[in-house]
Structure 1
């Protein structure tokens, strides 16, 4: 596919705007029913978690980690921020892992995330935290965006994603890959590999794992915008939150990330324990599959923290990591 010209880009934006509903913030009842149903099934899955075979429990965590990495390392750090470069095998891995997460199309994910950074905590922010915790967490997916979102979305350039041949191929088969890799395979593998029951396989590695992946991602938009420290910029809403960093594989160092969005680590903190995504990216860097990993200088981080932070920054010591 040829690169999108300015005229083509304008046409694309006009098409987006033409699909805006008359009542731009009306409830999406299909999504309300869908999210309600899968969360009810996830609660049932949690109730049956202890009845699952140990292989199923391990398998659920592995699949959950794969899907999580597809979001954090793929959709977020690679495609949204271009914080590192990846060779073809790694790009394929990132797209496959993202399919396991079962989220929106990659172009939609990237557009929304770039909107979030450019218009953070405004009506153009798709999950504006100023509209409340529930809205920032999941409510924004249950209704049409604010009119300002549609107005400003044409200012967000995602041509690099749209024009990527591999992403084009992924988009063409996205729905099929999402159904197969996110749901079908995680459900049938335990049944045929170690004779797990269909009920447990559906509820635990199927629905519970999927819903946990969703909520761990959502927690970055909600929890990490409400509770925590602001060592790098006290004037913005994103915060450092250890719990979110554990659940979302290193994405909870959100105050840092909004100040230094191009850092592939999303944090200056050195350990892998609270940043599993960075651990995997460093592994791929060691074997040459990831390269040109971007990081700010220590001097810049220090200067910004001292001049703009809330005073909780202490050379990234263990005390600040644990919030002590």
Structure 2
């Protein structure tokens, strides 16, 4: 496991109490103001001037970009909930590049820090500071002073051994401008004579902003879709009228290796989960890690009888070949 590991005594002693106050990084603030302003302009142009082909094209790009974020960066690389053939990894890498959110390597590193220090000042998206901070402000402030030290504590060996991720990391600043900006923005202008301004604002700013907020919702989901076990009134929030509140987001932070746990408060449902299952049926994905009810009972019983940590016992009871065996999966890609 690469997350939720206990830090060493020396490292823990070196960490200060939670009194760090984030400091705004004004270049980042100005960039977010610019991005969101142009995205709103893109939304206005979409409603009043854009062709239907451009709107469909926008939905297409956002949908596939989401697969790159959820099924790719999050479940495949950050948590290793399943393994995928190299064509799938290349596809998901390109789709993640559409988000313009940096390399997969940097995203995985930050997400593993987020899991390891969840709910503390060392968490880059500390939900205890509120939804606005977790969702937006955390991307406009300077990093914690201990960030370089925290990065050294994270085991990234698996990512460093992934040729697809390292290729993107090496050539990101060539891939992203060409593939994620120039080509996708030029397509509507070239193929169905869309206005350049509409294409730049919609396919450029609006698409990137939607994907960024979708990506930022992954660490913020516990606030929106999750119930706070320590707050008796958490279920009384008006969000119950808009979204389904449950403990599944908290479940994800306990057992992050379960491929069925959705990013937005669901379990065993959603397009990303279905996408992974389809890949498994096509023998392009395998090792879909999950845990059955019997496995949970076994893990809890083991913890009760042996005194071992519950998380460790549940990890030992997890099932990594459940769907593989059911489908007879034996991938030919390596």
Give the TM-score, by structure 1 length.
Answer: 0.75
Match of 1:176 in 2: 174
- 2:53 is aligned with 1:39: no
* Residue number among 46, 59, 64 corresponding to 2:57 in the alignment: 59
Deviation at 1:242, TM superposition (A): 10
Secondary structure of the residue aligned to 1:147 is coil
* Residue number among 162, 165, 182 corresponding to 1:164 in the alignment: 162
Deviation at 1:104, TM superposition (A): 1.7
Match of 1:289 in 2: 284
Output one character per residue of 1:236-289: Cα deviation in whole Å (capped at 9) or x when no partner.
Answer: 9x99999789xxxxxx95223212210112157444xxx111111111111111
Deviation at 1:148, TM superposition (A): 4.0
| Structure 1 residues 24 and 259: alpha-carbon distance in aligned structure 2, compared to 1, 3 A threshold | closer
Match of 2:198 in 1: 200
Q: Distance in 2 between matches of 1:303 and 1:127?
A: 34
Deviation at 1:130, TM superposition (A): 1.6
Deviation at 1:80, TM superposition (A): 0.4
| Structure 1 residues 58 and 253: alpha-carbon distance in aligned structure 2, compared to 1, 3 A threshold | farther
Deviation at 1:180, TM superposition (A): 1.7
Q: Distance in 2 between matches of 1:296 and 1:29?
A: 45
Secondary structure of the residue aligned to 2:60 is helix
Contact 2:83 2:286 in 1 (8 A): yes
Question: Superposition pairs for residues 157-306 of structure 1, below 5 Å?
Answer: 157-222=155-220, 224-230=221-227, 234=229, 253-267=248-262, 269-271=267-269, 275-300=270-295
Deviation at 1:25, TM superposition (A): 4.9
Q: Distance in 1 between matches of 2:25 and 2:216?
A: 18
Contact 1:281 1:290 in 2 (8 A): yes
Name which of structure 1's ranges 179-188 and 36-45 shifts more when overlaid on structure 2: 179-188
Structure 1: gaps of 5 or more residues: 1-22, 246-251, 309-324
Q: Distance in 2 between matches of 1:242 and 1:285?
A: 35
| Structure 1 residues 48 and 287: alpha-carbon distance in aligned structure 2, compared to 1, 3 A threshold | same
Contact 2:225 2:249 in 1 (8 A): no
Q: Distance in 2 between matches of 1:126 and 1:235?
A: 22
* Residue number among 94, 97, 120 corresponding to 1:96 in the alignment: 94
Secondary structure of the residue aligned to 1:117 is helix
Question: Superposition pairs for residues 127-138 of structure 1, below 5 Å?
Answer: 127-138=125-136
Q: Distance in 2 between matches of 1:54 and 1:301?
A: 49
Deviation at 1:169, TM superposition (A): 1.4
Q: Report the aligned-residue RMSD.
A: 3.0
- 2:56 is aligned with 1:48: no
Deviation at 1:226, TM superposition (A): 2.1
Deviation at 1:211, TM superposition (A): 0.4
Give the TM-score, by structure 2 length.
Answer: 0.73
Contact 1:99 1:178 in 2 (8 A): yes
Output one character per residue of 1:75-125: Cα deviation in whole Å (capped at 9) or x when no partner.
Answer: 100110010011111111111111111112222111111111111011111
Name which of structure 1's ranges 190-199 and 128-137 shifts more when overlaid on structure 2: 128-137
